[in-house]
Amino acid sequence: MTAQPSPSATRDDLHRGAPAGEPLLAATDLIAGYLPGVDILNGCNLVCHPGELVGIIGPNGAGKSTLLKALFGLVTIRSGSVTLQGEDITNHRADSLVRRGVGFVPQNNNVFPSLSIEENLQMGVFQAPKTFNERFEFIVDLFPTLGERRKQSAGSLSGGERQMVAMARALMMNPSVLLLDEPSAGLSPVRQDETFLRTRRINKAGVSVVIVEQNARRALQICDRAYVLDQGRNAYSGPGRQLMNDPKVIELYLGTLATDVESAAGKAADGPAVSTAKPLGGDPAL
């Protein structure tokens, strides 16, 4: 059985380790889905505070992409709310969210292959074309390769390079928060590392980031905090490194590492490894 949301789960449980103050982006009790009568999100909660790098991990089909799409107005929210700097943006359209400072990079089909790198970036600011030069300078500072190869068609780029263009395009509108859906998917380990470093660099440049990742361990290494989703619900949450070292989270969501970590923990400590993360509302192992 999967962890069920508990009516008694407090904000502290749900957003363990989150800083004090008003979140930049907050999703509260989201119920959402694609088909009538079929809910994919069953009461999801997430907050991202200014400057945070927040991860979302969980098994295939858990609703991670659906959560990002719901935040970005691409899936109808049936109940619950999303706020940006305290203002309600539930079910606002994606184009209006972009104007308000939300950027989104979908996993697939995220560049215009027939256009050059520069033209792709122009598309990123089609709502504010006069800002192109200034934003382009910022982007080239972060990703010099894009400046050097600005005339190259995006269709001729590798998967990792395309991902860079897609992120850069979303950054052209100077978002305060960037939603990334599995930026490392389909890339070689080296390219995956580059993507994680790039994500960190974007975050350090002042952009808050919510990142969905298949590569859960790697994501937990770079995130300030993360949420584990299971069947459209919050299962665990907390600081990335705390979750990464939690035997329960390892066993349930981080796969084969369990034995390694348990044996290492057994060597390092007198007693058995003890879970520090509390399941939200139930024990998913039951």
Ligand X SMILES: Nc1ncnc2c1ncn2[C@@H]1O[C@H](COP(=O)(O)OP(=O)(O)OP(=O)(O)O)[C@@H](O)[C@H]1O
Q: Within 192-251, which residues bind ligand X (CB under 6 A)?
A: 214
Q: Is residue 60 near ligand X by the rule CB under 6 A?
A: yes
Sort 22 into a burial class: Cβ within 10 Å, 0-12 / 13-18 / 19+. exposed
Task: Tell me the one-letter amino acid at 265.
Answer: A
SS3 assignment, position 16: coil
Min dist. Cβ of residue 65 to Mg ion (A): 3
When binding is defined by CB under 6 A, the residue of 1, 20, 35, 268 that contacts ligand X is: 35
When binding is defined by CB under 6 A, the residue of 11, 22, 61, 264 that contacts ligand X is: 61
Going from the C-alpha of 94 to that of each of 9, 97, 231, 235, 246, the distances in angstroms are: 31, 5, 25, 28, 36
Interacting stretch for ligand X, rule CB under 6 A, among 53-61, 195-203, 219-227, 274-282?
53-61
The answer to whether the CB of 40 falls within 8 A of the CB of 19 is no
The answer to whether the CB of 228 falls within 8 A of the CB of 246 is no
Query: For the CA atoms of 231, 280, 58, 142, what is the dihedral angle to 10 degrees?
Result: 130
- Cβ atoms within 10 A of the Cβ of 159, count? 14
Nearer to ligand X, 136 or 253 (CB): 253
**Which residue, among 284, 249, 234, 275, has the nearest Cα to 15 in the 3D structure?**
234
Rg (CA), the chain: 19
Nearer to Mg ion, 101 or 183 (CB): 183
Min dist. Cβ of residue 231 to Mg ion (A): 14
**Which residue, among 193, 199, 197, has the nearest Cα to 181 in the 3D structure?**
199
> Residue written as tokens 């989201």?
30
Q: Is residue 176 near Mg ion by the rule CB under 5 A?
A: no
Interacting stretch for ligand X, rule CB under 6 A, among 15-23, 57-65, 87-95, 135-143?
57-65
Q: Which does 60 bind (CB under 5 to 8 A by kind): Mg ion, ligand X, none?
A: ligand X
**Which residue, among 53, 104, 25, 70, has the nearest Cα to 207 in the 3D structure?**
53
Nearer to ligand X, 61 or 255 (CB): 61
Rounded CA gap, 107 and 119, in Å?
Answer: 20
Q: Is residue 57 near ligand X by the rule CB under 6 A?
A: no
Q: Is residue 73 near ligand X by the rule CB under 6 A?
A: no
Six-digit token string for 190: 């080296």
Nearer to ligand X, 1 or 20 (CB): 1
Q: Is residue 1 near ligand X by the rule CB under 6 A?
A: no
Q: Is residue 42 near Mg ion by the rule CB under 5 A?
A: no
When binding is defined by CB under 6 A, the residue of 2, 65, 199, 231 that contacts ligand X is: 65
Nearer to ligand X, 214 or 245 (CB): 214
Q: Is residue 40 near ligand X by the rule CB under 6 A?
A: yes
Q: Is residue 34 near ligand X by the rule CB under 6 A?
A: yes
When binding is defined by CB under 5 A, the residue of 65, 163, 192, 215 that contacts Mg ion is: 65
Footprint of ligand X on this chain (CB under 6 A)? 34-35, 40, 58, 60-66, 214
Footprint of Mg ion (CB under 5 A): 65
